[in-house]
Amino acid sequence: MLRSPNVALNLLAKSLTASTQWPIAGTAVLSVHCHRCLSGKPATSDDSNDHVDRVSPTGHPVSNLRLIHFGRPANETPPERELRLKRSALQKWNHEYWLKNNADFQRQKSDYIERELKALRGQEFKSSLSYDELSLFYKSFLDSNHKKHMNYNLEWYRRHTSLLWPAFRVLLIRLRRKFWTRN
C-alpha cells in the first residue's frame, strides 16, 4: 500500500538534519535547504534563517499546491536574486491557475450534483450521487477544459525551461563561492 505524501515527508524529516520553519497564514511550513532538509519544529518570531527555501507541509485548500517561500541569502548576487524572483513569479502563476481551475471544478461539480439530484428526486430518494454517476461529470469537465489544460502544460514547460540558464549561472556562482573563495 502506498503511503501518503505527508507520511513520507514526516519519515524523511526524521531522517534528515533539522532546519527552521516559518508560518504562512497560520500553518507551519517545512524548511528546505540546499539538500532539501526538512523539519517539524515550530517557527519562532526571531527566525534568522531567511536564506533557506521553506515548503508548506500541506497543500493550499483550493489550489492543492504546497507553496514555497524562496529564501534570500545574505550575500545574494544579482543572478541569484533574478532566479529567486523568477521562481517566485512562476509559483504565483501556477498557484493562480490552479486556484481558478479548482474553484471552477468545485462550482461546476456542485451545480451538476444539485441538478442531477433534482432530476432524480421524483424517481427515488438520494442524498448523493454514485461514483459512476459522477464519472460522467468528470469526463465532461476534462473534455470541455482539454484545450485550456494543454495550453497550461505547454506554458508550464516553456516557463520552467526558461529557468535553466539562470539556475546554471547561480550554480556556477555558488560553486565558485564554495570552492574558490576562502574567508
Q: For the chain, what is the mean pLDDT?
A: 80
Inter-residue contact 67 to 95 (CB < 8 Å): yes
Of 5-19, 26-40, 156-170, where does the model show the most confidence? 156-170
Assess whether pLDDT exceeds 80 at residue 57. yes
Q: So what's the pLDDT on residue 47?
A: 56
Assess whether pLDDT exceeds 60 at residue 32. no
Express each pLDDT in 81-133 by its tens digit.
Answer: 999 999 999 999 999 999 999 999 999 999 999 998 888 876 777 778 899 99
- Find the helix packing angle between 78-120 and 146-161, rounded to 10°: 170
Express each pLDDT in 149-178 by its tens digit.
Answer: 999 999 999 999 999 999 999 999 999 998
Burial label for 77, CB within 10 Å (0-12, 13-18, 19+), is middle
Sorted by sequence, the CB contacts under 8 Å of residue 75 that are 6+ apart come out as 177
Compute φ and ψ for 55, nearest 5 degrees: -110, 135
Say which range, 13-27, 53-67, 121-135, has the weakest mean pLDDT. Answer: 13-27
Inter-residue contact 20 to 31 (CB < 8 Å): yes
